[in-house]
A and B are shown apart, each in its own frame.
Chain A
């Protein structure tokens, strides 16, 4: 099941620069997209979400962009901080009844001081 794909297993960025994490999906029925951050031995932490009727949502240093025609979303973190180092998961669900999340495989972000 590859409905949500994160093709970059890892990303390294300098502190203060922009981190861009990418996610692609194949199921056009998805209505809602979310980003989670995960540290080792902890559960995923909800970061930011976007509805399919929008193309951008911003929350502090985090911005999510959605390109429905390309079935692509991205998470921008500006400026990146060493504490942002973690695994980032993209997830999606359909808003009709089933709201089970379908997760990508994750991207490990390393922010270098």
Chain B
């Protein structure tokens, strides 16, 4: 069964460093999303991406964040200068029609 994959599974970085989290969505899906879950809190929406552009973003997704679909298969989330409060699980999701979003296993980001 097709699935969303994410790399790396765990990323440790120092405060102020740039990180890139990578996702490979399900191949025929057209809608892509990033969510995050800070330990002990709810899963929160960050950004949605459709037709090679951001379709919606939350208040969390400030200028430090960016997304890209550099080729036909990858979807990346970049954090330019990480802060301690960026430590969280980051989930990528994809959807064929904007419904029934399918999530990847997540990347645990630890900022020290």
Within the complex, the shortest CB–CB distance from A49 to chain B, in Å, comes to 6
Interface string of A39-79 (1 = CB under 8 A from B): 00111111001000000000000000000000000000000
Selected from B56, B58, B101, B106, the residue in CB contact (under 8 A) with A46 is B101
Residue numbers in A under 8 Å from B100 (CB-CB): 34, 46, 49
Report the contact-size class of chain A (Cβ under 8 Å from the partner): 20 to 34
Known: A32-B99, A45-B103. A100 touches B43 (CB 8 A): no
Within the complex, the shortest CB–CB distance from A25 to chain B, in Å, comes to 13
How many B residues, CB 8 Å from partner? 25
Within the complex, the shortest CB–CB distance from B59 to chain A, in Å, comes to 10
Known: A32-B99, A43-B103, A46-B101. A98 touches B48 (CB 8 A): yes
Number of A-B contacts (CB under 8 A): 57
A52 and B69 CA atoms in complex are apart in Å by: 32
Tell me the dominant secondary structure on chain A's binding face: loop
The residue on A at minimum CB distance from B4 is A43
| A100 close to B103 (CB less than 8 A) | no
A34 and B102 CA atoms in complex are apart in Å by: 11
| B42 close to A101 (CB less than 8 A) | no
Known: A32-B99, A44-B43, A46-B101. A100 touches B33 (CB 8 A): yes
Residue numbers in B under 8 Å from A43 (CB-CB): 4, 6, 91, 93, 103-106
A97 and B56 CA atoms in complex are apart in Å by: 8
Within the complex, the shortest CB–CB distance from B8 to chain A, in Å, comes to 14
Beyond known contacts A36-B103, A43-B105, A104-B42: 20 more, CB 8 A cutoff? A34-B100, A34-B101, A41-B106, A42-B105, A44-B103, A45-B103, A46-B100, A89-B43, A91-B43, A97-B55, A98-B56, A99-B95, A99-B98, A99-B101, A100-B33, A100-B48, A101-B45, A102-B45, A103-B44, A105-B42
